[in-house]
Amino acid sequence: MFDLLSYAYPWIKALHIVSVISWMAALFYLPRLFVHHVEQAGASGPMHDTFSMMEYKLAQVIMRPAMMATWLFGLALVLTPGLVDWTMIWPWTKGASVIAMTIFHVWLKKQVETVKQGESRVTGRQFRLLNEVPTLLMIVIVFSVVVKF
C-alpha cells in the first residue's frame, strides 16, 4: 500500500490542494453570508429563505465534501513514506491547525441551522471577526508546511 502512495504522490498532493482551496473558499464565504443574513434579511421572509438556502447548500454541497476530501488526501499524504518527519514541529502545528479548522467548520455548520431558525445570538460584527479564524489558521498551516520549522 505504501508503494502505491509513493507512486500516486503527485496526484494525491494535487487533489489535496484542490480540496483545500474548495474548503477554504467555503469557510471564507459562509461567515460573510451570515453577516448579510443577520444584518439585512432578518429572521423571516423571502430574503431570509434565500439566505438560508444558500448557506445550507454551501455548507452541505461544497464545504462538507471539500473538508472530507481534504482530510482523506491529507491522511494519504501523511501515510506516504518519507514525507513527514515527526521529530520536527511543523507536522504538529499543521495537524493542530487542521483540527482547529475542522472545529470551526463544525461550529459554522451548526450556525446554518441556528441562523435559519432565527435563534442566532451572533451579530454581524461578530461574524465578521470570526471570518478571520480560517485566515489565521491557514497562515499557520501554510508556513508550517512550506517553511517546515
* Residue 139 confidence (pLDDT) above 80: yes
Band of pLDDT at residue 2, cut at 50, 70 and 90: low
For 77, counting Cβ atoms within 10 Å of its Cβ (0-12 exposed, 13-18 middle, 19+ buried), the class is middle
Summary mean pLDDT of the chain? 95
Per-residue buried b or exposed e for 115-140, using 16+ beta carbons within 10 Å of the residue's own CB = bbeeebebebeebeebbebbeebbeb
d(CA 8, CA 73): 11
What ranges do the domains of the chain cover?
2-147
d(CA 76, CA 112): 30
Q: What is the mean pLDDT of residues 71-93?
A: 95
- Please check whether residue 38 is in contact with residue 114, taking contact to mean a CB–CB distance below 8 angstroms: no
DSSP state of 38: I
**pLDDT at residue number 1:** 64
